[in-house]
Amino acid sequence: MQKMISKRRRNHPAPIAVVALAVLFCTAAMTQAEDGYRLWLRYDPLPSKVIEFYREHVTELVVPGNSATLDAVRAELSNGCAGLLGNAVSMANDVDHDGAVIVGTPKSSPQIARLKWEHQLALLGPDGFEIHSLVMARRQVIVIASSTEVGALYGAFHFLRLLQTLQPIDKLNIHEKPRLQLRMLDHWDNLDGSIERGYAGRSLWDWSALPEKVDPRLRDYARANASVGINGSTLNNVNADSQILSAGYLRKVAAIANTFRPYGVRVYLSARFSSPIELGGLQTADPIDREVAAWWKKKADEIYRLIPDFGGFLVKANSEGQPGPRTYNRSHAEGANMLAAALAPHNGVVIWRAFVYDMKPDSDRAAAAYDNLAPLDGKFAPNVLLQVKNGPVDFQPREPFHPLFGGMPKTQVMLEAQITQEYLGFSNHFVFLPQMWREILDSDTYAKGRGSTVSKVLDGSLYGQRLTGIAGVANTGSDRNWTGHHFGQANWYGFGRLAWNHDLTSRQVAEEWTKMTLTRDAEAIRTIAGLMLESHQAVVDYMTPLGLHHIMWGGHHYGPAPWWNTEPQPYWNPVYYHRADERGLGFDRTQTGSNAVSQYHAPVRDHFANLQTCPEELLLWFHHVSWDYRMRSGQTLWNELALHYQRGVDWTRKTRREWEALAGAIDTERHEAVAKKLAIQERDAIWWRDSCLLYFQTFSKQPLPKGVEQPQKSLDEYKAKSLVW
Ligand code: GCV
C-alpha cells in the first residue's frame, strides 16, 4: 500500500497536505472524545475481517478540477477513506490502478467526459448522481458522476455511507435522484442567539462576530446537511425581526452563505411582512401599495447582489400576532405574490406558511388553516410554495394528516415537519421521528382516488406541481453533540434521508444511522433500531394516546397540564381540545360537532367520521366518546386510556433495561449520556400518566384498571408545579 501511494502522480494543488490531514484526522478520531460532535460522519476503521475487501476496491481517488465544492469532495473522500480503511488513499490525476474512484461531472473530469453520460445524468436533475463499477483503461474502477459538482458531492457521501454501513461495492449500479427539490431546515433562531423551541443550546450563528469571524463549526453544519442531501437553510425565526434584512445583517448572512455554498446549502431568510415600515420608514406594508412593492423589489436586488444564490423568503403572516396582508384586508395570496414578484427576476421563491388560525369565535382551530387558505387555491404566483404543517393543529405527538394535502390541487404545497421536539419531550426524550413522518407521508388523501398519498402530493406526481419541497424545524444548537440528545441526531439524519427519498422505510433509516453513528455490533443494531421504531408510539402512549392532543403545560409545552384553562385564547387551552366531561372525552369534529372532518375527501372523511371505522389512534381527535364505550380490545374507553398510559411508562423501563445491556457495544461516554436521559424520560412518562389519569378520573369517576400503577402524587401536587426539564 505504502508503495502504491508513493507512486501516484498528483493533480491536486496540495495533495501532501490532504494526505497528511487524512492521517491526522485518523489519529485524532482514535483519540477524540466520544461527545457526539462527529454525528454520523464517523470514519473509524472498518472491522478487520472486511477491511481488505474495501481496500482492494478503493486504491486511489481521481477527482480533478478546481472549485470549493470539488475541494470538499476531495477532503471528504480522503478523510473518509483514510479513516475507514485505516490507510491514506492518494489522489491521482488519472486511472492507473484497479480500485480507482473517479468523481466529478463531465465538465470537471476528463474521465467522466469520455463516458458520454451527459444525457443520463441530465435525467437525474442537478442533484442526482450515478455510481457504477466499470472497466476504464483496462482497470476496474468506480465512477461517481453527476451533472453538477454538488451532485457529485452527494454521490461521494453516498459512497462513503456504503462503506460505513458495510455494503458491497464491487458491482455498483446506482442511480439516485432526490424526490423533492427543496430539502430545507428552518431555524427558529433569534438575533439575540436564543432559539424558539430550541433545546440544544444557543444559535449556531454568532451574529455579533459575523461577518468578520465565521465559526468553523458552520462548515461542519453544512457538511452534515450535504451528507444527507439537505440543500436549504432558513437562518432566522419565522417570528421574524425585520433587522435581519438590514444592510448590516445581510453582510453577516452573506458570510454564512459563502460558507455553506460549497456544500450546496442555500440560505433563506424569514421576512417580517411589516419590514417596509420598520426598516424602510414607510407608512404601510399594504401589499398593493406601489411604494411597498418597490421597497421589496429594491431589497431583493440588494440581497442578490450580496448572495447571488439566495433561496428566498419564508413568511409567517397573520399568525400568532405576526403582521401580514390580512392587516390591510388583503388576502394571503396578494401578500405572497407581491413578495414573489420581487424575487422572481432572481429565481427566488416565497415559502408562505399555512400555519394561520384566524377563526370565527367558537369555531375549531383544527379547521382554520383550511378555511382560510383553500379558497385561494390557484391564486398563488408560480414561485410561491405553501408550507403546511403535518397536521391541522401544531406538531402534536400524533395528528391526522393536514387536510390541505390534497385540498389545494392548483397550489405548490410543501410539508413542514418539526425535528425539534417542542411537544415531544424536548431534547430529553428518545423518540425517532421518521416513524411519525412516515405515517403522514403514507396517509392516503384520496384526493384523486386511492393511492393519492401525501408523498405524491408533495413530489408533484399527483398534481404536477413545478416546485416541490419539505422543511424541518431544526433541532440543532451550540451543544457539543448538536442536538442535545444523542438520538436527536437520528431525527436530523432521518429528516434528510426522507427528504431525499420519501420511500425509505423508517427501519432502513434507523439501522443505517445506528450503524454509522453508534455501533457496528449486529445484535446491538437490531436492538437499538427496534427501540427506535417503537419509540414514537410509546411517547404517544404516555403523553396523548387515542387521539388526545394539546394537553401540555402552557408556555413551555414540556409536561402535562390537561386542566389548563387560563390562556387568553380558548384554543391555547388544553380543556378546549380534550373536552372531558362526565359523559366522556374527545373533540367532536363530525357533523354533530365542528364538522372539521368534512375537509377531507371521501372516503377518508367518512372513515374518520364514523365511530366504528375511525382509527382508534385518532379516536378522540374526531369524536367525543363515552367513558364506557367498548374499544376493539373489549376494554372500555377509560380502561384502554389508562392501559395506554401504563404501556408508555412500561416501555421507558424496558428501554432503560435494554440500553443498560448494550453497555459493551457503545462507547461509555455516549452510553452514559443516553442512560441519564432515559432516566429522565421514565420520570416524565410517570408524571404524564399520573397527571392525566388523575385529572380525567375526576370526570370518569372510575378506578384504575388492573395493571395500571397507583399515582405517585396527588392531582393537586401535579397541578401545583410544572415538570422541570
Ligand atoms: C415559531 C407553535 C409554537 C411557536 C411557533 C409556532 C409556529 O405555536 O409554539 O413557538 O412559533 O408554532 O409554528 O409559527
% of the chain with per-residue pLDDT over 70: 96
pLDDT value for 617:
98
Q: Confidence class of residue 292 from pLDDT cuts 50, 70 and 90?
A: very high
What's the pLDDT score for residue 358?
A: 82
Question: Does ligand 1 have an atom closer than 6 angstroms to the CB of 554?
Answer: no
User: Which pLDDT band holds residue 10 (cuts at 50, 70, 90)?
Assistant: very low
Q: How confident is the model at residue 31 (pLDDT cuts 50, 70, 90)?
A: low
394 classed as catalytic: yes
Annotated active-site residue 176? The verdict is: no
For residue 8, is pLDDT > 50?
no
CA distance 44 to 23: 12
Query: Does residue 394 have its Cβ closer than 6 Å to ligand 1?
Result: yes
In the DSSP assignment, the letter for residue 183 is: E
Spatial CB neighbours of 486, under 8 Å, sequence gap ≥ 6: 36, 517, 518, 670, 673, 674
Q: State the distance from the centre of ligand 1 to the C-alpha of 420, rounded, in angstroms.
A: 11
- pLDDT tier, 33 (very low <50, low <70, confident <90, very high otherwise): confident
Residue 26 in this model has a pLDDT that exceeds 80: no
Q: What pLDDT score does 32 carry?
A: 67
Question: Which of the 8 DSSP states describes residue 402?
Answer: P
Break the chain down into helix, strand, coil percent, rounded to 5: 45, 10, 45
- Give 108-131 pLDDT, tens digit per residue: 999 999 999 999 999 999 999 999
- For residue 209, the CA-to-ligand 1 centroid distance in Å is 28
Distance CA 430, CA 658 (A): 14
Residue range 461-488, pLDDT digits in tens? 999 999 999 999 999 999 999 999 999 9
What's the start-to-end Cα distance of the chain, in Å? 53
Q: Is 239 in the pocket of ligand 1 (CB under 6 A)?
A: yes
Q: Which of 570, 658, 578 is nearest to 620 (CA)?
A: 578
Q: Mean pLDDT over residues 669-676, rounded?
A: 98
**Average pLDDT estimate for 44-57:** 97
Which residue is closest in CA terms to ligand 1's atom 2?
Answer: 394
Q: CA-to-CA distance for 69 and 168, rounded, in angstroms?
A: 27
Does ligand 1 lie within 6 Å of residue 549's CB atom? no
pLDDT of 2 reads 33
The pLDDT assigned to 658 comes to 98
pLDDT value of position 24: 44
Q: Can you tell me the distance from the alpha carbon of 64 to that of 82, in angstroms, rounded to the nearest whole number?
A: 19
Helices (H), 394-445: 434-442
- Give me ligand 1 centre to Cα 355, in Å: 9
Catalytic residue among 364, 394, 640, 650: 394
Provide the total of helices (H) and of strands (E) in the chain, helices listed first.
Answer: 24, 16
Q: What angle do CA 691, 695, 700 make, to 5 degrees?
A: 135
Identified catalytic residue from 320, 442, 582, 660: 320
Strands (E), 248-292: 266-270
Q: Which of 19-28, 501-510, 521-530 has the lowest mean pLDDT?
A: 19-28
Strand partners, 266: 232
Report the residue count for the chain. 725
Q: Is the pLDDT of residue 347 over 50?
A: yes
pLDDT at 37 over 60: yes
Q: How confident is the model at residue 409 (pLDDT cuts 50, 70, 90)?
A: very high
Q: What is the distance in A from the centroid of ligand 1 to the CA of 584?
A: 30
Q: State yes or no: pLDDT of 455 exceeds 90.
A: yes
CA 387, distance to chain mean position in Å, is 14
Please state the atom number of ligand 1 nearest to the C-alpha of residue 238. 1
* Residue in this structure with the C-alpha cell 384498571, named with its chain if needed: 705
- In short, whether 238's Cβ falls inside 6 Å of ligand 1 is yes
pLDDT value at 146 more than 70: yes
Mean pLDDT of all residues belonging to the chain:
95
User: Which DSSP string do the residues of 70-99 spell out, in sequence order?
Assistant: HHHHHHHHHHHHHHHHTS--EE-SS--STT
- pLDDT higher than threshold 70 for residue 1: no
Site to substitute for ligand 1 among 190, 194, 197, most atoms within 8 A of C-beta: 197
**Residue 6 predicted with pLDDT over 60:** no
Q: Which three cell numbers stand for residue 283?
A: 407608512
To test the pocket of ligand 1, the residue of 186, 235, 352, 394 to mutate (highest count of ligand atoms within 8 Å of its CB) is 394
Please tell me the residue having the least CA distance from ligand 1 atom 7.
355
pLDDT band at 359 (very low <50, low <70, confident <90, very high): confident
pLDDT band at 361 (very low <50, low <70, confident <90, very high): confident
Q: What is the pLDDT of residue 284?
A: 98
Write down the pLDDT at residue 13. 38
Average pLDDT over residues 521-536: 98
* pLDDT tens digits for range 170-217: 999 999 999 999 999 999 999 999 999 999 999 999 999 999 999 999
Q: Residue 633 — pLDDT band, cuts 50, 70, 90?
A: very high
What atom in ligand 1 is closest to the CA of residue 237? Answer: 1
Ligand 1 centroid distance, CA of 316 (Å): 10
Q: Is residue 558 within 6 Å of ligand 1 at its C-beta?
A: no
Q: Which residues pair with 234 in a beta bridge?
A: 186, 268
Q: If pLDDT is split at 50, 70 and 90, which confidence band does 362 have?
A: confident
**pLDDT (tens digit, 9 = 90+) per residue, 181-192?**
999 999 999 999
